[in-house]
Amino acid sequence: MGKFELRNQIMKKGSKLYSIFKRKCPHCHEGDFFEGNWLKANIKEKCDHCGEKFSKEPGFYQGSYYVVYALGVAVFVSLWVATRVLFPLAEMMTYVWVILAGLFILAPLMYPLSKIIWANFFFNYKKEKLDPKHEDA
Ligand SMILES: [Zn+2]
């Protein structure tokens, strides 16, 4: 399987990554999950396409902070390794600044990303669901 085919496989409808990176409803992969752009992490109340409510209970998205934490650790490690590879002679303070700058720049993206990742833990893809009285998985 070529690299391009693999990418198509991952980024097609039905894959959770499709929902995450296209910012689509985790249930039908048609309606939008957010209002506005990446920097405004306002989750719609429900999907315009299938009517799925995006919040299963009050405070549902508090759990997404675990995802933010995991993303933060991933960014931290990636930047550490990148600095190590690109600037082998860098001093400790260089690492600190690169990582702080990276986290600062990426933080506004990580919050919406974490919420849609979180939602994808709990919602499963269903190809067509136009009936609002659906059976919950
Ligand atoms: Zn939907």
Give 20-79 pLDDT, tens digit per residue. Answer: 999 999 999 999 999 987 677 789 999 999 999 999 899 999 999 999 999 999 999 999
Ligand 1 (ion): which residues have CB within 5 A?
A: 25, 27-28, 31, 47, 49-50, 52
Q: How far, in Å, is the centroid of ligand 1 from the Cα of 61?
A: 18
pTM of the predicted model as reported, rounded to 2 decimal places: 0.80
Residues spanned by the domain of 96: 18-122
Q: What integer pLDDT is reported at residue 129 of this predicted model?
A: 47
Flag whether 13 is in a domain: no
**How many domains are contained in the chain?**
1
Angle at 56 between CA 137 and CA 133, to 5 degrees: 55
Flag whether 2 is in a domain: no
For the CA atoms of 51, 57, 61, 63, the dihedral, rounded to the nearest 10 degrees, stands at -140
